[in-house]
Structure formats: C-alpha cells, structure tokens
C-alpha cells in the first residue's frame, strides 16, 4: 500500500485530495497547521499530523513522524487580491513564505528518502493565474510562478534518481475558503485610485462561467501521482484547461 503526504488538508483542495486518495485505499498523511478531528472519515489508513510549512522545526518533526512516503503533495498556500502598490511588504513576505519557501523547504526535506529509494513523486499545486497576466493578483501569481519555475528545474535534476515531479494548476474555485483566508490581507482593495479596476475585476470574476471544483484538482493530483506518462503541467478544472489551451 502506497503512502501520500498532503499539506493544507483542513479545507478546500487539500481536504478533497485526502478524501480521494483514502477512497482508493492509499495510506494518507493529512497535514495542517491546526489539526481538526472529524473533517475526514475515520480510517485505519489515515494519519493527521501538525505541519506549519513556514517553520523548519515543524517540517523536520512532520517528516520524521511520517516515515517513508511515496508521494508528496505540496498544496498548502494562500493569496490576497490587491494592487501591487497597495500590498504591504509584510503581506508579500507572508505569501512567499507559505506558497514558495514552504514548498521548497518541505520538498528538500523529503527528497533524500526519494533519492535513496530511487522512487517518489513530488506534486506541487500552484494556480492557473500563472498562465496569463491578471490585475490584483500579482503577488500571489508571482509566488506561484516561482514554484512553477522551481518545479520545472527540479524535475530535470531528479529524473536521474527515478523521481517524478509534476505541477497541478487549478482554476477559479468558488467552493474553497480561498477568499475567506485572503480577506485579512486585502485592505489595499480600498485605495480609491484603483477603485474602478477593482470594481471591473470582481464584477467579471463573479460572472457565471467555467470554474474549477475541488474534485477536479483531486483527480489531477491522482493522475500526477499514478500516471508515469502524465505531463509535467496538468491544468485542473474547465477554466484552467481553457486557459492552458490558449
């Protein structure tokens, strides 16, 4: 039985990915900053661990407690919508600490066991906003684009050890808590100089259209984990697939 370690499992994509792998009889190590009992169905194949990807000691303890794994899914992350001019450097650092540096740090912590076994899969969940220039998500987009670049280079480095590296790029997912988690960092939206841009952006963003569901992301992650012939870039969701095809 194979084992997957997934970050950011308290809600949204991470929670759905954990459910998806449990349903397919994998050993699942679901990690989150503050563990919550009852959010996943009871299973002898499930372990829940505390993990803060911005803390080196937390990473060390979680990787040690997890033991050997077959797949790492770097899903933890958050964003904020605001004009770049109005985004505090503290918020910029926080976004990069979680989305970029946390992903790199956890990957570094897991790679030695993969390399020694000459097997393993690293899957980094980023975003389809990296596929085109959009206003108001510049910092979030930059943090995820950095992960894209890091992932592509990592794939070239570790292929020689039998390690596969993949990117999953979800689209817009209204059903997740992304907006709720981002709200404390979005004060810059109130700047009057950008009011018209903000109004137009969120008006268009709220219109009916192609969207991504959490299951789309879980299916894409499953493909990345189990299909050796999957491409390095895997869009997840109808809107992400449409953008990737442009």
pLDDT for the residue 121: 98
pLDDT for the residue 177: 58
pLDDT grade for 38, boundaries at 50, 70 and 90:
confident
Work out the average pLDDT over 52-56.
Answer: 97
Q: What is the mean pLDDT of residues 194-201?
A: 85
Question: Which of 78, 114, 140, 178 does the annotation list as catalytic?
Answer: 140
pTM score of the predicted model = 0.93
Query: Percent of the chain, pLDDT > 70?
Result: 92
Which pLDDT score, from 0 to 100, does residue 246 have? 83
Identify the CA nearest to 144 among candidates 169, 166, 123, 165. 169
What is the mean predicted confidence (pLDDT) over 113-134? 96
Q: Is 140 a catalytic residue?
A: yes
Whole-angstrom distance, CA of residue 34 vs CA of residue 41: 17
Per-residue confidence (pLDDT) for residue 174, from 0 to 100:
78
Q: Give yes or no for residue 28 having a pLDDT over 90.
A: yes
189 vs 199 pLDDT, higher one: 199
Angle at 30 between CA 74 and CA 25, to 5 degrees: 105
- Each residue's pLDDT tens digit, 163-192: 999 999 999 887 665 555 555 556 667 778
Check residue 37 and give its pLDDT: 76
At 195, the pLDDT band (50, 70, 90 cuts) reads confident
What was the pLDDT predicted at 234? 98
pLDDT tens, 105-121? Answer: 999 999 999 999 999 99
> Of 57-66, 81-90, 178-187, where does the model show the most confidence?
57-66
* Cα distances (Å, whole numbers) of residue 195 to 82, 139, 191, 202, 204: 11, 19, 6, 11, 14
**41 vs 194: CA distance, rounded Å:** 45
In this prediction, residue 189 carries a pLDDT of 74
Contact 18, 42 (CB under 8 A): no
Average pLDDT over residues 194-215: 80
CATH class of 3-245: alpha beta
Phi and psi dihedrals of 134, rounded to 5? Answer: -130, 145
* Torsion sign over Cα 97, 98, 99, 104: positive
CA distance 109 to 30: 17
């Amino acid at each position: 039985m194979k084992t997957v370690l997934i970050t950011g499992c308290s809600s949204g994509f991470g929670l759905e990915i954990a459910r998806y792998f449990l349903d397919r009889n994998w050993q699942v190590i679901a990690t989150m900053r503050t563990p919550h009992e009852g959010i996943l169905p009871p299973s002898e194949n499930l372990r829940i661990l505390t993990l803060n990807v911005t803390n080196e000691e937390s990473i060390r303890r979680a990787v040690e407690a997890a033991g050997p794994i077959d797949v790492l899914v770097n899903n933890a992350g958050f964003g904020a919508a605001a004009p770049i001019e109005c985004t505090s450097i503290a918020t910029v650092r926080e976004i990069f600490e979680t989305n970029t540096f946390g992903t790199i740090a956890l990957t570094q912590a897991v790679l030695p066991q993969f390399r020694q076994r000459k097997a393993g899969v690293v899957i980094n969940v980023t975003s389809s906003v990296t596929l085109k220039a959009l206003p108001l998500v510049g910092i979030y987009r930059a943090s995820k684009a950095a992960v894209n670049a890091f992932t592509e280079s990592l794939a070239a480095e570790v292929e020689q050890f039998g390690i596969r590296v993949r990117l999953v790029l979800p689209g817009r997912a209204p059903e997740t808590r992304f907006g709720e988690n981002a709200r404390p960092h979005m004060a810059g939206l109130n700047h009057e100089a950008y009011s018209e841009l903000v109004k137009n952006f969120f008006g268009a963003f709220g219109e009916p259209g192609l969207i991504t569901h959490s299951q789309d992301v879980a299916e894409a992650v499953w493909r990345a984990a189990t299909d050796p012939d999957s491409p390095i870039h895997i869009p997840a969701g109808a809107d992400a697939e449409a953008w990737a095809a442009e």
